[in-house]
Copies of this chain bind each other. A is one copy, B any other.
Amino acid sequence: MSNAATRVTGQDHIWSVSEHLEDILTTVRPLEPIELHLLDAQGCVLVEDVTVPVSLPPFDNSSMDGYAVRVADVSGASEEFPAVLTVVGDVAAGQAAQPAVGPGQAARIMTGAPLPPGAEAVVPVEWTDGGLGAGPVSGMRAHSAAPEAAYGRVHVYRPAEARAHVRAKGSDVKAGERALEAGTVLGPPQIALLAAIGRGTVRVRPRPRVVVLSTGSELVQPGEELEDGQIYDSNSFALTAAARDAGAMAYRVGAVADDADTLRATIEDQLIRADLIVTTGGVSVGAYDVVKEALSYVGDEDEAGSGIEFRKLAMQPGKPQGFGSIGPDHTPLLALPGNPVSSYVSFELFVRPAIRALMGLADVHRPTTRAVLEAGKALSSPAAKRQFLRGRYDAGTGTVTPVGGAGSHLIAALAHADALIVIPEDTTSVEPGTEVEVVLLG
């Protein structure tokens, strides 16, 4: 380690935000697909084209509660001159055997039940006397209370055309059609369709398992007592929550003290359950920046492109960043700065896209828009750095208002922001009324 100072001073290239992001997105590959039960696949990306194995509905069935009839038998029926038919039984949904409907006959049929043999149409129960002989009814009597209503006679007061109130087999989707394309994100309606065509499992990219750990000997778990020089660990909580929001299964390891051996052992332990590791703190130029110190040993130095590289970015906040891969599976690792606002902004810009790339999502970025800056005075921004200020966006007026100042430690302001105001590298001052780019944190 006698060359430690040399190594640090040698890294003089300043990365732009775009370069760093591009490096991450060209390195992080989508996770290998696995077969998951439908409800476990919610929010995941389908990797197969799903074909309909059986037509929906799988058989001609009734769209109403009513009577299955032959068209000729109800031709010309009216309230004055009803058709009077013999009821040969019930056809309920899910009932195996169905009575055949011959001339002069009807079967009482329920919504979704198969059209019985011989029947050509369904007349809704509201067009009949329901077997009671006292004019039109608005519903059937429950079978459990009046089993005799499955038989007897029914008066039908209106005619019906062939196929009236019948849903034809295959009228929704036909066997062999494509139900869903590879790349579809599985939300509730897609899960509905997959279940409806009988798919109990589907092949998807799983949710990434993201391990979040913060570093810093000054960090204390919230709820405990602070001693002199200590602060509460907020990063491991914030980034675990943010990783979940991005779609990951997140594991919070919590704060690790500034000791390289402990940190290295902790990370090596966590590799077994990590598709992505996120650390905060210890990435700058200080003498106790142990993430930097520890991770130069964890990388697979024999493998091209592996190992963690620490960089300076042309951005504020979030200048020091580490990125690379570690361990036998080349698990990607993002090392974020320790300041809570810096780490949160870094998460939004770099970790969230990485998580969504692991999921195989086509669109990995937060939506952005343009908004008019509403502020009491001009905003200043350092030259040659892309600055991200916290703001509140008003979609109604198309304006954005800064919340708190530029200081990277204003975590209270962050909690009241819903957008990041982006000030480009070549801009050092933005007047109120200027149109600016805004990242919507949603």
- What residues make up the interface of A, taking CB atoms closer than 8 Å to B? 1-2, 4-5, 8-9, 11-12, 38-39, 42, 54, 56-59, 63, 65, 90, 92-96, 98, 108, 110-114, 125-126, 130, 132, 137-146, 149-150, 167, 171-173, 177, 179-180, 187-201, 216-224, 226-235, 237-242, 244-245, 252, 257-258, 260, 284-289, 292-293, 338-340, 344, 407, 409-412, 414-415, 417, 441
Contact = CB atoms under 8 A, between A and B. Distances in A.
Nearest to A390: B189
Given A4-B146, A288-B93, A195 B222 contact: yes
Given A57-B409, A93-B218, A194-B222, A9 B139 contact: yes
A225 B63 CA distance: 24
A234 B196 contact: yes
A218 B1 contact: no
Contact of A125 (B4, B42, B233, B285): B285
Given A217-B93, A287-B149, A229 B198 contact: no
A338 to B, nearest CB: 7
A193 B187 CA distance: 31
A9 B39 CA distance: 40
A30 to B, nearest CB: 22
B56 A241 contact: no
A27 B26 CA distance: 53
B344 A92 contact: no
Contacts of A139: 5, 8-9, 284-286
Given A93-B218, A114-B228, A241 B65 contact: no
Given A5-B141, A95-B217, A112-B339, 8 more contacts: A1-B142, A8-B138, A39-B237, A42-B244, A110-B286, A110-B287, A195-B234, A200-B221
B59 A196 contact: no
Contacts of A38: 222, 237
A59 B226 CA distance: 11
A287 B193 contact: no
B140 A195 contact: no
A222 B199 contact: yes
Contacts of A340: 192, 196
A284 B109 CA distance: 13
Contact of A112 (B94, B216, B285): B216
A4 B142 contact: yes
8 contacts: A1-B142, A9-B137, A93-B258, A94-B229, A139-B286, A188-B241, A192-B340, A195-B237
B229 A95 contact: yes
A411 to B, nearest CB: 5
